[in-house]
Amino acid sequence: MIRRSTASRGLALAAVLSVGLAACSTSGDGGEGGGSAEPLTIGTILPVTGSLAYLGPPEFAGVGLAVDEINAAGGVLGNEVALETGDSGDSTDMSVSTNTATDLISNGVDVAIGAASSSVSQNVVDQFTEAGVLQISPANTSTELSGVSDLFARTAPPDTVQGAALGSLILDGGHQKVAFLVQNETYGTGLRDVVQSTIEAAGAEVVYGGTDDGDEFAPGETNFSSIVTDVLAAKPDAIAIIAFEETTAAVSELVSQGWDFNGTTYFCDGNTADYSEDFDPGTLEGVIGTIPGADPEQTFKDDANAWYEENEGEALTDYAYAAESYDAVILAALAAVKAESTTGTDIAAELRAVSGSNGGTEVSSFEEGVAALEAGEEIHYTGVSGIGPINEDNDPSSAFVGVYEYDGDNKNIWTRVIEGSVEG
């Protein structure tokens, strides 16, 4: 059963969620291991509006597909899973996420999937924790979120993995003088810091935009004229752009000032998107980007796309974090089965176990996982995103980072993956 909050009936509509009185607890009444007969309610706090709105469709598709598959397999503890959707917005207007969190809590969600932006999750994590709601982000990568709450977990790896991978790619390109174009918020500066430490450890130099240089730009920046002038004056042989939709304006200014992108420019998960409609053919050819997560199997992509077409009336153009969103829901549902409860705190207590932290029988679907749990077995859910078991900081213990290269049509084409482990 899918219930959509009134303000977000369709993803094409901006969700403006009214502020309500936050509930003191979630819908379950299990508490202290007593179990819960209430249906599991999943909420989403994912981008419908804002600079990360392009990530919304694949994330919503991953969540929706998982919920449908769980319900087709009999639901959780005998009840169908309910779904409440909401908009996260972005870091330029935190009131959107605050209002959505309030709305989801008031509607009795047990688990909230999101946000996409690390800064947005930092804004709402205490709100969810105080309400006893388990928050699972499919896309947050800031290192500051590792272990931030017993009720916060993620299916995307922290930036120690992506940052090291991106830094290695820059070094593999033979670059020695690197400039950063970085937005001034948790995600941007945290990822930049890891990339910088990686390249400096190998003897390369940061010539602009480094840690403590004060060169970051504000989220939502549109005028890059003087910024790009300063970047190019530093004479870099590579530029790493760590931003969201601000990237379009930054690229346009780099083009106007004569920067050659081929083999010299690097993107990250916040901006490794399809720019075929934004720039002249060939503009971004040879640009390298990274997105945490393995490239999902085509069967999964087909299923996610079919779900989105059926429910939203259009095809997916991007699959970033679809797999991580799907796995977040499946893990939560399996943890509820193992806990015999749908309260957020009880689900959180079993999340690591069903992810394989205790070993156990490998299962690749909700249905297989339920069968093994009912047989009294420990399980290791091996999801479509390719992450390892959740560690003590509630991060994946290992994960893949996809490497993409832009073609002559300014489309990001998957080329390979780099696997990394996560401390904790």
Cα–Cα distance for residue pair 334/350, rounded to 1 Å: 9
Check which CATH number belongs to the domain holding 370 and give it: 3.40.50.2300
What range defines the domain where residue 146 resides?
A: 6-157+296-390
Domain identity same for 207 and 287 = yes
> Mean pLDDT across the stretch 164-182?
97
Would you say residue 24 has pLDDT above 50? Answer: no
DSSP per-residue codes, 247-278? HHHHHHHHHHTT---TTTEE--TTT-S--TTT
Residue 203 burial (10 A CB sphere; 0-12, 13-18, 19+)? exposed
Is the distance from CB of 82 to CB of 3 less than 8 angstroms?
Answer: yes
Q: What is the largest CA-CA distance in the chain?
A: 66
Residue 90 lies in a domain: yes
Q: Is residue 1 part of a domain?
A: no
Domain check: are 132 and 30 in the same one?
yes
pLDDT confidence band for 64 (50 / 70 / 90): very high
pLDDT > 60? residue 1: no
Same domain, 173 and 310: no
For residue range 127-157, list pLDDT tens digits in order.
999 999 999 999 999 999 999 999 999 999 9
Residue 22: cis peptide before it, omega within 30 degrees of 0: no
Question: Do both 139 and 194 map to the same domain?
Answer: no
Q: Please classify residue 299 by burial: count the beta carbons closer than 10 Å to its beta carbon, then call 0-12 exposed, 13-18 middle and 19+ buried.
A: exposed
- For the chain, the average pLDDT equals 91
Q: Are 114 and 88 in contact (CB under 8 A)?
A: yes
pLDDT-derived band of residue 423, with 50, 70 and 90 as boundaries? low
- Is residue 146 exposed (0-12), middle (13-18) or buried (19+ Cβ within 10 Å)? buried
- pLDDT higher than threshold 60 for residue 16: no
Confidence of residue 78 (pLDDT cuts 50, 70, 90): very high
At 271-312, the pLDDT tens digits run: 999 999 999 999 999 999 999 888 889 999 999 999 999 999
Confirm whether 395 is domain-assigned: no
Q: What is the pLDDT of residue 419?
A: 86
Q: Are 396 and 388 in contact (CB under 8 A)?
A: yes
Residues 243 and 314 in one domain: no
Residue 15 has pLDDT above 50, yes or no: no
Q: Which of 106-110, 158-162, 177-181, 203-207 has the lowest mean pLDDT?
A: 158-162
Residues 194 and 235 in one domain: yes
Q: Between 364 and 11, name the one with better pLDDT.
A: 364
pTM for the structure as a whole: 0.82
pLDDT at position 249 over 70: yes
Residues 148 and 237 in one domain: no
Domain count within the chain: 2
> CA 415 to CA 128: how far, in whole Å?
38
283 and 367: one domain? no
**Residue pLDDT, tens place only, 401-410:** 999 999 999 9
Q: How far apart are CA 411 and CA 403, in angstroms?
A: 13
